[in-house]
Chains A and B, each alone.
Chain A
């Protein structure tokens, strides 16, 4: 049996997002020209939550977008099942500060693909990366600017992020394979 350990409960996720929202505003020096872009799928919901937090605090209406990086992956036929291609819809990115939002940062390959895709849509002035969980294990020189929580895991471990919009509850769990 795999062992599940809770890393963040719903309240901890809520606190992390509040902090991340204010960090984004600080990092960007305000909200002018900021665009939040969530990576399909749970990055999209996180970007929406961050937008609501920032909008409420800053009395603004941040544009958001969603990005599906499936077509930019570098492993089309090396591994098996992959999600159906999702929707990409982005506002004008030209000259904006684009904040890419995702749930977990691991190898960095998803972010690499997201950067490629964003570049195909325009030339942002600046791109930031914001993730709920940084679990280490990078295979590319990529790092997050805004992080909810950092954990150090081995390759056999897995992080599951569940969000109420999609999964009915908010929780971040560590799934650990049993030792042989």
Chain B
């Protein structure tokens, strides 16, 4: 019996079986979103708070669709800025949520560890929708699901994560999830944007984008936050595109067609060229579709839906 436990704060603590469970559970949820009535009553009566301390359109909407398609009641709380600048501490926020008897909290926060902090202090299920530079587990899962859809396997697959790995929670979740399921992960970016000791997580460092393209089956291209320039990590966006941008020209030299992923939102012409983003090997939009399915699966599994042993025989409804 493998459940997910109370919270989903990251992919690092999950076992390969737990990861497969989420991906497998996401499969039927893809179909729910294709129905005329895109709604099932699985989480009817559950109340979910989407607690977003950082602005995020896409992740919040994806979670909200996932929740509504499972018939949960949702409340969105957009708390701009950190809890500190707001005056209320995260622990007070947690206690208030607890007092309102909510069932689940989806939290996005600028500080690494905020999701586990919340999870340790409230009885409700907590789902990490991105905490600082730590993890963004549902993004990692939807990337894995998209890769599995296309390649029918993750074992042995070579995935290069390209760009600002240092500041990326998406990169960390992908690294944990993919390596646990037997994929090979490479990271490629300007050395100032690669975190210390990253190779000890079992990833290969690919010094140049050409190396990544020659090596990989798929590229997961990270968004370059524009403020990295003023913080002195890279000289200019123009030069970044020249040296690390994923362009059609570079992809033409690849030994095989590469699948192109991007967690969005994209900076077209910086980390990725438009004709790559819109090209035939881009799965950027299927990623978005899979995002809803993966989040439905996570919500469903945390709410109590669990797999059972293969039934020895049929019969017996309950």
Taking Cβ atoms with an 8 Å cutoff, the residues of A that contact B are 41-42, 68, 70-73, 75-77, 79-89, 102-107, 109-111, 116-117, 120-122, 133, 158-163, 166-167, 172-173
Considering only CB atoms, which chain A residue lies closest to B28 in the complex?
A: A85
Spot the interface stretch: B33-41, B57-65, B250-258.
Answer: B33-41
Report how many A-B pairs have Cβ atoms within 8 Å.
Answer: 105
Query: Is B41 in contact with A159, judged by CB distance below 8 angstroms?
Result: no
Query: How far is it, in angstroms, between the C-alpha of A106 and the C-alpha of B317 when the chains are bound?
Result: 6
Asked if B88 CB lies within 8 Å of chain A CBs, one says no
Q: Which of B180-188, B282-290, B306-314 binds A?
A: B306-314
In the docked arrangement, what's the CA distance between A127 and B262, Å?
Answer: 46
Set A72, A121, A158: member contacting B41, Cβ < 8 A: A72
B108 to chain A, nearest CB (A): 25
Interface size on B, residues (CB 8 A): 34
Within 8 A of A (CB), among B23-55: 24-25, 27-29, 31-32, 35-37, 39-43
Query: What is the CB-to-nearest-CB distance from B30 to chain A, in angstroms, rounded to a whole number?
Result: 10
**B29: nearest residue on chain A (CB-CB)?**
A85
Whether the Cβ atoms of B40 and A104 lie closer than 8 Å is: no
Q: Which residues on A sit within 8 Å (CB–CB) of B307?
A: 81-84
Pick from A85, A107, A109, A160: contact of B313, CB below 8 A: A160
Q: Which residue of A lies closest to B24 (CB)?
A: A84
Residue of B at shortest CB range from A167? B313
Q: Which residues of A contact B265 (CB under 8 A)?
A: none
Interface residues of B in 293-318 (CB under 8 A from A): 300, 303-309, 311-318
Set A70, A72, A106: member contacting B316, Cβ < 8 A: A106
Nearest to B42 among chain A residues (CB) is A71
Which residues of chain B come closer than 8 Å to A76, judged between CB atoms? 42-43, 303-305
Q: Are B35 and A81 in contact (CB under 8 A)?
A: no
Q: Decide if B84 is an interface residue (CB 8 Å cutoff).
A: no
* Residues of B that sit less than 8 Å from A by CB: 1, 21, 24-25, 27-29, 31-32, 35-37, 39-43, 70, 300, 303-309, 311-318
With contact pairs A83-B311, A85-B29, A86-B28 given, residues A71 and B316 touching in the complex (Cβ less than 8 Å) = no
Say yes or no: A82 contacts B305, CB within 8 Å. Answer: yes
Contact A110 B317, CB 8 Å, known A81-B1, A84-B25? yes
Q: How far is the CA of A166 from the CA of B311 in the complex (A)?
A: 11
A36 to chain B, nearest CB (A): 17
Binding site secondary structure of chain A: mixed
Interface centre among A76, A87, A105, A107 (most CB of B within 10 A): A76
Q: Which residue of A lies closest to B309 (CB)?
A: A81
Interchain CB contact under 8 A, A104 and B1:
no
Contact of B35 with A121 in the complex, beta carbons under 8 Å: yes
Q: Complex: how many Å from CA A119 to CA B312? A: 31
Q: How far is the CB of B102 from chain A (nearest CB, A)?
A: 15
Determine if A161 and B313 form an interchain contact, defined as CB atoms under 8 angstroms apart.
Answer: yes
Q: A79-B318, A109-B318, A121-B35 are in contact. List 5 more A-B contacts (CB 8 A).
A: A81-B1, A84-B307, A120-B37, A158-B316, A161-B313
Residues of B within 8 A of A167 (CB): 313
The smallest C-beta distance from A6 to any residue of chain B, in angstroms, reads 13
Supposing A75-B318, A104-B316, A104-B317 touch, asked if A116 and B41 sit within 8 A by C-beta, the answer is yes
CA distance A1 to B184 in the complex (A): 50
Is A42 touching B317 in the complex (CB atoms < 8 A)? Answer: no
- Measured CB to CB, the nearest residue on chain B to A157 is B316
- Is B28 a contact partner of A88 (Cβ separation < 8 A)? yes
- Say whether, besides A83-B307, A83-B311, A85-B25, A159 and B316 are in contact (CB < 8 Å): yes
Q: Is the CB of B42 within 8 A of A161?
A: no
Q: Are A71 and B41 in contact (CB under 8 A)?
A: yes
